[in-house]
Amino acid sequence: MQYQSQAVAKPYFIAAIGLFVGQILFGLIMGYQYVVGDFLFPALPFNVARMVHTNLLIVWLLFGFMGAAYYMIPEESETELVSPGLAKLMFWIFLIAGALTIVGYLAVPYATLAKMTGNDILPTMGREFLEQPLITKAGIVVVALAFLFNITLTVLKGRKTSVSLVLLLGLWGLAVFFLFSFYNPANLVVDKYYWWWVVHLWVEGVWELILGALLAFVLIKVTGVDREVIEKWLYIIIAMTLITGIIGTGHHYYWIGTPEYWQWFGSVFSALEPIPFFMMTVFAFNMVNRRRREHPNKAATLWALGTGVMAFLGAGVWGFLHTLAPVNYYTHGTQITAAHGHMAFYGAYVLVVLTIISYAMPILRGRAANSERAQVMEMWAFWLMTVAMVFITLFLTAAGILQVWLQRATDTPLPFMAVQEKIALFYWLREATGVVFLIGLIVYVLSFFAKGETKAA
Amino acid sequence: MRPCTRIWLLLIALSGVTYGIGEAGLGGKAVVATLLAISLVKSQLVAGFFMGLRRTSFMWRAIMGGYLVVVCGMIGVAYWLGAVR
Amino acid sequence: MFFFLLFLALTFDTQGVLPKRDHRENITDAVVRGKHIWERNDCIGCHTLLGEGAYFAPELGNVYKRRGPDFIKAWIKGQPTGVPGRRQMPQFHLTDQELDDLVAFFKWTSEINTSNWPPNIEG
Amino acid sequence: MSDTQTLALPRNPPGDLAIWFFIFAELLAFGIFFLAYAFARAKNVELFNQSQLLLNRESGMVNTLVLITSSYFVVRAVAAIREGFSQVCARWLLGAIGLGGVFVAVKLAEFHAKFAAGISLHTNTFYMFYLSLTIFHFMHVLMGMVILGFVAVKARRGGYSADSHTGVETGASYWHMVDLVWLILFPLVYVIR
């Protein structure tokens, strides 16, 4: 560790992994409810489990991003963090607020929670992914502002690199677009229109900048390739991301009441959205092939390459599958969307956060890389989780295709629930691969406790 | 006369032909094919002589040439589809 | 940057034509209250609305046309069905007034011009 | 792929390599847009043919000549700086920017006439494409003028030399791309039927 204040990243990473485990457990519960509908009912209805599943995902990724920023920025800026104390304080505030929110979801009915937390003053709850109570949303803004203040001042007082600037741009964008979560007009169409400004412009816009910056940082460190080369790639990738991703928002505006020209704009620009992901894959492999040194942390390299490939498959290929308006007409809101969502989030964001954790955590624990044994476990975890995710995606895609076939693209459509029963087999298979994913995750967690010889940092 | 000046005059002349066809209000498969061919030639002239791709490696010329051929060709296909329908 | 400007321009244009497509003149107080009931009970956590939400339970953007107001109210009142092994919907204890508001919201939603989506009445 | 070593090529195109990635990305966006137009037309030939006749072909033609000529000026500007003549280069560039201004003026007049006639993105599919494509291209012209403006100012101050003028070539390449796109756009939207 070059700078003392980088150490504040450690609790963020630990919390991220802990919440990740929670997310997967709730995912398994939901997967089971898909086939055994009354499982845990009424103690844990599906909508509550789903809220916990998706909110944990968002929160742990945010923990990961923040930890990554606290780790990277001092090293990139070649100076200590402006206020490590503030970073620690914010960690506890964010963790406690997050935990209380989850407890709130689980302990009382959602409507009661809404009433308790002042949803009547400014109703923002009950919209997909933005289910958090008003006070939690406000808390997120406070934490984000304190975090950005800390990070931005550090960058301003130290060296300014392309990586840190792209990261800053991404993080500021994340905070700015989150403000649209407070806008909830009574008109559902307008509500949905701006809801996507949070959701789409996050995951297919500013988060991609964060992803690019994290990947570039790790690749600089583990490959030793010249910074200029990596920065040029980074610039091209983010330029492509913004060119395609911003107007690509239009692929959500096909069927929600917005004008029909969005079908053209959405199709044209989002058809190009796989390109930046493809470039990321080529980028990662190219840099690793041209490496100037053999970094002892082989697991980190594997995670980085995995990010490139899986992000391209999940976000690029599976996104493209159903992004064109004539196709989306039939697939919109089916298991195809679920398949894409799972693999895209895993490939792009889960893997990039695990990449930076894999690279930084050993250093935070005082060594250049983990022991051979721990790395082997980590790689096993990578393959178990990744292969499981590929199969989850394939099974959901199969379920989705059948669903479209039986319920949408036919002259004799079957009702929703009748179709769900017919595709139950694929849900069973998905649940089984979900268990494999959990095993992979357990191996991953255990790898942190594996003994063995390590080299000093 | 500089080579680039000649190219410029050629581009002007070809644009004149395109415009003339438009003024005459012509249509039909042969006319569409001619117009697309003219566009292809013009854009290749700009790419090769103005953008300087003519003095680059095969890869660059192939990317640009391939792009132009695919775009003009597919436009042709779309017009043909419109005509037979 | 440039693309963001274009996006803003399109947003501006969209805002201009939306009233013709969403029939906002029909958004009554009941519709507004209905939307809040929809949100307060996190219905989107199981159902989709205009294709967005969870894929655990049927699409409700066109439920008004599929089932009609009386069926919807009776259905919500009758939950959970308690059929073993079947997916269960919680009992939300809505008053008659709230049920009417929710139905008003579904009715308005079903009248949005969604470019003919969903492909058929099953959603 | 981002330096000559890995590409192992005899020669890369003029200008900064990054601009070429950008140019091809833009070309791809335009290309897909063109094809979307063409295939939408195939479903709606009558509407497209009728609406097309109402476009102002004269102004389209004038703008074609203007853009080709401005592109030619930019070629001359690059030729000048390769021989080390900064001021000559700057003058050619200013000429090109001036022609860009003519393009913008003609285009604005055309848009004004269309908007005054009550035409908008919602009139019909043809006009949706006509407006989207031309406005999208129009914004690229503006962007190109800004880029050329920066290059011209720097050239005027003697910021480039016969040995070092990547900036001029970069700006030139972008401007030619804007021209090239128009050379396909004009026949496609205004003429071919």
DSSP code for A348: I
What letter represents residue A167's amino acid? L
Q: Among D11, D176, D186, select the one facing B57 at the smallest CB separation.
A: D11
DSSP code for A368: S
* pLDDT tens-place string over residues A106-156: 999 999 999 999 999 999 999 999 999 999 999 999 999 999 999 999 999
Q: Give me the sign of the Cα torsion angle A196, A199, A200, A202.
A: positive
The three-state (H, E, C) secondary structure of chain C, written as one string: CHHHHHHHHHHHHHHHHHHHHHCHHHCCHHHHHHHHHHHHCCHHHCCEECCEECCCCCECCCHHHHHCHHHHHHHHHCCCCCCCCCCCCCCCCCCHHHHHHHHHHHHHHHCCCCCCCCCCCCC
Higher-pLDDT residue of B80 and D3 is B80
Taking CB atoms and an 8 Å limit, are D180 and B38 in contact across chains? no
Longest Cα–Cα distance in chain A: 68
Torsion on CA atoms D53, D59, D61, D67, rounded to nearest 10: -140
Question: Taking residues D132-143, what's their average pLDDT?
Answer: 94
The distance from CA D63 to its chain's CA centroid, rounded to whole angstroms, is: 11
Residues with Cβ within 8 Å of residue B60, at least 6 apart in sequence: B53, D9, D12, D13, D20
When pLDDT is cut at 50, 70 and 90, the band that residue A455 belongs to is low
Phi, psi of C53 (to 5 degrees): 140, -150
The total of other beta-carbon atoms located within 10 Å of residue A456's CB is 6
Mean per-residue pLDDT over chain B, rounded: 92
pLDDT higher than threshold 80 for residue B76: yes
Asked if residue C119 is part of any domain, the answer here is: no
Q: Is C55 exposed, middle or buried (0-12, 13-18, 19+ CB in 10 A)?
A: buried
Enumerate the residues of chain A whose CB falls inside 8 A of the CB of residue D121: 259, 261
Give the separation between CA C14 and CA D57, rounded to whole angstroms.
29
Give the separation between CA D132 and CA D143, rounded to whole angstroms.
16
Residue extents of the structural domains in chain B: 3-84
Do A355 and A214 meet the contact criterion of CB atoms below 8 Å apart? yes
DSSP code for D13: P
Do A170 and A213 meet the contact criterion of CB atoms below 8 Å apart? yes
Asked if residue C42 is part of any domain, the answer here is: yes
pLDDT higher than threshold 90 for residue A261: yes
Asked if residue C1 is part of any domain, the answer here is: no
Chains D+A touching (3+ CB pairs under 8 Å): yes
pLDDT higher than threshold 70 for residue B20: yes
What is the CA angle D80-D84-D86, rounded to 5? 70
CATH classification of the domain holding C42? 1.10.760.10
Torsion on CA atoms A179, A180, A182, A185, rounded to nearest 10: 160
Q: Among C6, C13, C17, select the one facing D139 at the smallest CB separation.
A: C6
Cα–Cα distance list, A29 to A24, A436, C77 (Å): 9, 14, 26
Give the separation between CA A418 and CA A408, rounded to whole angstroms.
13
Question: Taking residues B16-31, what's their average pLDDT?
Answer: 89
User: What was the pLDDT predicted at D8?
Assistant: 44
Residue of B46, B57, B59, B81 to mutate when probing chain D, most D C-beta within 10 A = B46
User: What was the pLDDT predicted at C123?
Assistant: 87
Q: Among D121, D122, D136, select the one facing C6 at the smallest CB separation.
A: D136
- Residues of chain A with pLDDT > 90, as a percent, come to 95
pLDDT higher than threshold 70 for residue B67: yes
Enumerate the residues of chain C whose CB falls inside 8 A of the CB of residue D143: 2
Tokens 């107001």 map to which residue?
A: C69
Give the separation between CA D135 and CA D110, rounded to whole angstroms.
11
Q: Among A37, A242, A338, select the one facing C86 at the smallest CB separation.
A: A37
Give the separation between CA B39 and CA A240, rounded to whole angstroms.
27
pLDDT higher than threshold 80 for residue B85: no
When pLDDT is cut at 50, 70 and 90, the band that residue D2 belongs to is very low
Enumerate the residues of chain D whose CB falls inside 8 A of the CB of residue C18: none
Give the separation between CA D155 and CA D167, rounded to whole angstroms.
9
3-state secondary structure of A290: coil
* pLDDT tens-place string over residues B24-58: 888 888 999 999 999 999 999 999 999 999 889 89
- Residue D191 touches chain C, beta carbons under 8 Å: no
User: What was the pLDDT predicted at D3?
Assistant: 42
* pLDDT tens-place string over residues A203-215: 999 999 999 999 9
Give the separation between CA B74 and CA C10, rounded to whole angstroms.
28
Taking CB atoms and an 8 Å limit, are A235 and D28 in contact across chains? no
User: What was the pLDDT predicted at A256?
Assistant: 96
Question: Taking residues A159-163, what's their average pLDDT?
Answer: 95
When pLDDT is cut at 50, 70 and 90, the band that residue D22 belongs to is confident
* pLDDT tens-place string over residues A14-27: 999 999 999 999 99
Nearest-Cα residue of chain A relative to residue C50: A256
What are the structure tokens assigned to A13, written together?
A: 């990473």
Query: Strands C48-49 and C52-53: what pairing?
Result: antiparallel
Contacts of C among chains (3+ CB pairs under 8 A): A, D
Torsion on CA atoms A261, A263, A264, A266, rounded to nearest 10: 120
* pLDDT tens-place string over residues D49-96: 999 989 999 999 999 999 999 999 999 999 999 999 999 999 999 999
Asked if residue C53 is part of any domain, the answer here is: yes
Residues with Cβ within 8 Å of residue A284, at least 6 apart in sequence: A215, A219, A304, A305, A307, A308, A309
Phi, psi of C45 (to 5 degrees): -70, -15
User: What was the pLDDT predicted at C45?
Assistant: 96
pLDDT < 70 regions, chain C? none
CA-nearest of D97, D104, D90 to D71 is D97
Residues in chain D: 193
Fold of D57-191: Four Helix Bundle (Hemerythrin (Met), subunit A) (1.20.120)
User: What was the pLDDT predicted at A456?
Assistant: 66
Q: Among D2, D21, D40, select the one facing A229 at the smallest CB separation.
A: D2
Do A272 and A206 meet the contact criterion of CB atoms below 8 Å apart? no
Enumerate the residues of chain D whose CB falls inside 8 A of the CB of residue C2: 139, 143
Size of interface A-C (CB pairs under 8 A): 194
User: What was the pLDDT predicted at D1?
Assistant: 39
Do C122 and A407 meet the contact criterion of CB atoms below 8 Å apart? yes
Nearest-Cα residue of chain A relative to residue C26: A187
3-state secondary structure of D8: coil
Residue extents of the structural domains in chain D: 57-191
The distance from CA A451 to its chain's CA centroid, rounded to whole angstroms, is: 30
Residues with Cβ within 8 Å of residue A403, at least 6 apart in sequence: A334, A335, A336, A419, A420, A423
The number of folded domains in chain C is: 1
When pLDDT is cut at 50, 70 and 90, the band that residue A451 belongs to is confident
pLDDT higher than threshold 70 for residue D10: no
Nearest-Cα residue of chain C relative to residue A259: C14
